[in-house]
A and B are shown apart, each in its own frame.
Chain A
Amino acid sequence: MRLAEAWRVALEALRANRLRSLLTMLGVVIGVAAVVALVGIGTGTKQQIEQQVEGLGSNLLIVVPGRLEAGAAPTSSPLTLDDVDAVSRIVGDPSRVAVTISSGETVRAGRNTGFASMQGVLETTPDVFVRRLDRGTYLTRTDVSTGRRVAVLGAGLAGTLFGERDPIGRQITIGGVRFRVIGTFEQLGQSLGVDRDGEVHVPVTAAQRLLGTERIDGLAIRAPDRERIGALSSAVVAALADRHPDTDFSAVTQEQILGVLGDILGVLTGVLAAIAGISLLVGGVGVSNIMLVSVRERTREIGLRKAVGARPRDIGVQFLLEAVLLTTTGGVLGMLLGGSAAILVDRLSPVPAALTWWSMALAFGVSAVVGIVFGVVPAQRAGRLDPVVALRTE
């Protein structure tokens, strides 16, 4: 039998039982749609986080006290600004080194109050990380060296405190201490679940005085090029370990952060896809079930086809194609449905979603495989029917 003919016969059989075919297909449609939509959301989230981590700046090396291991106890930082000078000498360019000491503080402007993440920083921060100003100016070297009480507000915080008014030159208090606003950041949005528009940057020296400490939490280095990150990392960690023999130091690169996050999100996406895959499997069982019913219903037809010369293979192929046609049509519909769902989620909710050609191709391929796997048993049963028995069936 020609394959084109077999397809025609399969299509004919599905058309003859339109409602049943549609309902059977629905199981596959839902399964494939779920896989495509959930993988789309997983991929979108992953892409967004990657963009954010890359948006921190390129060739970044972040140095913190403590070990970066699961289960490691948090370590209090022994680092001071003297350590930063030592690191700057190793790097050879102080403008490539940034520090932070951060603390959650209440910020007030007139009658308005906000809660902000205060970041004590050097004037180098915009060069090391990517931060753009909306208005005003950033901190200067003099601001840092003299511990001047000036502040740069995140877009969200500026809105909370000043609304539509221009905050530049106005007074605010951070933890009860007066600061003058000299600039505001461009809006950034969420990054790794942290609202970065709620930050306020002040000179590290001023922050230390406010918090009554000489310490800093950690530092970040922007390496001149990718190749030197490794050497720089070990040199800095060695120098700091030398200065603070009691403390371990860890240095992580963006690539390491991305790797770890990517692994976690990959597993999450995989788990989502697997759960969705189970519904696809259930859809497949439905297909198998209906195909067995179809074989039973058409026993006389099978007997007649065999009597006029259909080989066992011809009959088997006919039923297998019917199952595959069911699941692949369901697969295409599921792809459209899941894809539309992902696009809607992306547009209408804060959850990002991205459609990838491979998830679509995979879902379609899996639906075809489901058809073959769950169609093969009914098809074999049909192919092996004894024509004498089949012809006698009422």
Chain B
Amino acid sequence: MTAPAIVATDVTRTYELDGLSVPALRGVSLTVAAGDYVAIVGASGSGKSTLMHLLGGLDRPTGGTLLIGGQDVSRLSPTEMAHLRNTTIGFVFQSFHLLSRTTAQDNVGLPLVYRGAGRRERRARAAAMLDRVGLAHRMTHRPNQMSGGEQQRVAIARALVTGPSVLLADEPTGNLDSTTGQAVLALLESLNADGVAVVLVTHDREVAARAHRQIVMRDGLIA
């Protein structure tokens, strides 16, 4: 059996706000296996966003241990964390987060910039990825020339271009109508079938129900 992509053991995260300690996570243990399909659900303020930031290596736990791709994030410098995000994690956001003045192809190629790939290589790999998400005909379009569903598929192609082991999707259908949302979910599921672990953060029960397993967050703990 392949090593798990992410292992969290008794992870806590406390924010310091004006001298007050606000606990967002109060001891969460969780394993994302290779090829897993997990939904994290919970009301807003339940700590699911905080958990997703931790799982994606954007933030560090205050306590407990967190292994991403086998590496203990508490021992990594900001530069090493950046490298970890670049190589193991792919992010998909609710609001897409595409660069507005940049073509679909160059948006998808962006993560490769930070591993020193030349423009030709980036464009070739981005083209292949856009083809994979069914947007081969949108290569030179800018975000404002595309529909919401297309933009989200560009964002998914960008998340995939580095060949990550985990896709972290934060409310990926939140800004889309239900038909488009279904198509995006179907795309994520087909990627999952190809072996990429998918972690879906959502408050939509129907969306969550499609995952292999659900983790329900409440008050900073797994319920």
Contacts and interface: CB of A to CB of B under 8 A. Distances in A.
Interface in B159-181: 162
Interface in A363-394: 386-388, 391
B114 A301 contact: no
A300 B97 contact: yes
Interface string A273-305: 000000000000000000000000000110111
- Pick from B56, B82, B83, B110 the residue with the most CB of A within 10 Å: B82
A313 interface: yes
B48 interface: no
Interface residues of A, number: 23
B114 A387 contact: no
B83 A388 contact: no
Interface in B32-54: 53
A5 B123 CA distance: 13
A386 B50 CA distance: 13
A311 B79 contact: yes
A386 B58 CA distance: 8
Q: Chain B: interface residue count, which band? A: 20 to 34
Given A16-B101, A388-B53, A310 B114 contact: yes
A309 B162 contact: yes
A211 interface: no
Contact of B87 (A2, A303, A309): A309
B195 interface: no
B185 to A, nearest CB: 21
Given A387-B58, A388-B58, A311 B111 contact: no
B113 interface: yes
Nearest to B158: A308
A184 B58 CA distance: 89
B97 A391 contact: yes
A240 B52 CA distance: 98
Contacts of B79: 311-313
Interface string B66-97: 00000000000011001101110001010001
B59 A388 contact: yes
A2 B118 contact: yes
A60 B97 CA distance: 78
Interface of B: 53, 56, 58-59, 78-79, 82-83, 85-87, 91, 93, 97, 99, 101, 110-111, 113-116, 118-119, 158, 162
